[in-house]
Structure 1
């Protein structure tokens, strides 16, 4: 990094909540893949291989049953204890259909469509202070609205009373912290603008052969150049969405010095090859790569989550996990053990010392929005 750019970066960093300006290797850079999986998921390499294969199978079953069950589909999640998909049904007559597909059936009071409808209604509301977001809880078949009481006001209490009046389909849950956007071509590597550092999500190409990578939208706001981990210019900021429509953006890679790679950095464990972008179910294990904390793994807890960032406003369509992350990891890769790209880190709460929650933007939505195809290897 040149001295001029370093000074400009330092000046802007003071204005960005939680920004991380350190571009060097993360403290956990020497942790190999198998150690990270054992550390974060409690799985041996053989157990992890079996788990990821089961998740891929469950994902395919969920896709089929979602269409087959239609209005009777009450949500689904992967159960790691059995290695099977658990599917909620609002019509007991459909239980046999679920079992015939190789999944377990459980009774659901509300359909996925009903709960998604409530969540969509919440997305249209102007949430007061202290409300940190909402999502459909497929485990308990309801919509959960989270609130940080430490930041609540009188308006918050009135807002929550109105939600409780909707009945048992909505539950208010208290949290102790508010999520923040994690400010700060191989997935997980660092890249910078003139203002902050983030992490690469996934390499992608356009129909005409144009070259890009997708990352978090709050990382690509504005215009200007983009630089790689070695401070060499890669290209320029090419698009940004950071709203209820999601948190995704792209960088246009125009420098001939850079080659797009269909891999993700495992920080000490070699690269993992990107094989596709099949969406994993709730309950599945995933791992995350980022330029601040390296490689960490966790479990998908909820999808289509709306999050209200204390330094960025409401963002919709995110997937919630219990993998940790810190500022500068934003935009980095979420991927399964079998190489299925899942998304790009958006934000979260907590850290990788005490643990926390992290949200990611599903990658397929970003690819579709920009008309791109993910680079595989």
Structure 2
């Protein structure tokens, strides 16, 4: 889908995101970028002698970015200092061969894998927060002064002016006041209907603040489709190519499954919010992987705080 891109203001901002500039941004922040494509079983890895230096990963990261293959994601593994590349089920054999041919020029610096499933953002109809033809999940309630909002995914909020509590669209919550997607994946909706309560909780958890993710951290998420599920953080600063030029940077990766309709839901540890669900691969019947926009970025961009 095509997302709205406008310049952010303090509480009702919108960000401009240019797809070409996102690709350029990858090349300028190579050590924080991860390449991941959701596709199948693990494949071969380039042979390694000595661990690559930071300068040695910039070449493969730039080369992989320039390919622009949908359904891929990439990152630099902090322990091995290698570029880790994954490709999902939409990546053709020809495209996968092109990936392999590209990384063969950088022996020892890159690993390539196929993963089961298709990398996608998560949308469907049903419960949660609703707009015309779309259902997502409210992430966390926030405020600026005496004005209240909720945060959700940017790919949910973009281009949809009003959100409702149910699929019948008979009880309005309020308008979308800011969104950023691709590049980032967050959106903000203002509570305009005083009849709709907005407690500072995630289910029964009373939110007391935010926290940054770290690998190995025990976390949970809550979605309109799948409810509460828990797992661990498996990677940071992931860059995910959802296809059609929709690339999102700086995501948190977990081993928690997610389903359509869960997008925008919160990632949290105890009573601290960590992120907002962007997308994932797999499903909750066979297992999956999910990716989250760090919460601090949206709060900082729009001058908001949890309560």
TM-score (norm 2): 0.75
Cα separation, 2, equivalents of 1:118 and 1:242: 27
Provide the C-alpha distance between the structure 1 equivalents of 2:198 and 2:60, rounded to a whole number of angstroms: 38
Q: Given the alignment, which residue of 230, 250, 253 partners 1:297?
A: 230
- Matched residues in 2 for 1:372 and 1:118: separation? 38
Task: Give the drift of 1:140.
Answer: 3.5
Aligned to 1:371: 303
1:275 aligns with 2:208: yes
In the alignment, structure 2 segments of 5+ residues that lack a partner are: 2-30, 33-49
Q: How does 1:1-377 map to 2 (within 5 A)?
A: 109=51, 121=62, 124-129=65-70, 131-148=71-88, 151-184=91-124, 190-206=128-144, 208-229=145-166, 231-243=170-182, 245-265=183-203, 271-310=204-243, 313-337=246-270, 339-375=271-307
Given that 2:123 and 2:156 are in contact with CA atoms closer than 8 Å, whether structure 1 keeps it comes out as: yes
**CA distance change for structure 1 residues 156 and 225 in 2, over 3 Å: closer, same or farther?**
same
Native 8 Å contact 1:128 1:156 kept in 2: no
Residue 332 of structure 1 and its aligned partner are, at CA, apart by 0.5
State the partner residue of 2:7.
none
Q: Distance in 2 between the 1:309 and 1:254 partners?
A: 32
Instruction: Identify if the C-alpha distance between structure 1 residues 155 and 289 changes in structure 2 by more than 3 Å, giving closer, same or farther.
Output: closer
Structure 1 gap segments, 5+ residues each: 1-14, 16-72, 75-107, 266-270
Aligned Cα root-mean-square deviation (Å): 3.0
Asked whether the equivalents of residues 60 and 106 of structure 2 are also in contact (C-alpha less than 8 Å), the reply is no
Aligned counterparts of 1:221 and 1:160: Cα–Cα separation in 2:
35
Separation in 2 of the partners of 1:149 and 1:293?
23
Aligned residues: 258
Structure 1: 4+ residue segments shifted above 6 A: none
Contact 1:201 1:213 in 2 (8 A): yes
Structure with greater Cα Rg: 1
Specify whether residues 115 and 325 from structure 1 end up closer, same or farther in structure 2 by C-alpha distance, changes over 3 A only: farther
What do the CA deviations read for 1:131-152 (whole angstroms, capped 9, x no partner)?
4211232344322111236632
The CA distance in 2 between the partners of 1:275 and 1:197, in whole Å, is 27
Residue-by-residue CA offset, 1:319-350 (whole Å, 9 max, x unaligned): 1111111000110011002x111111111111
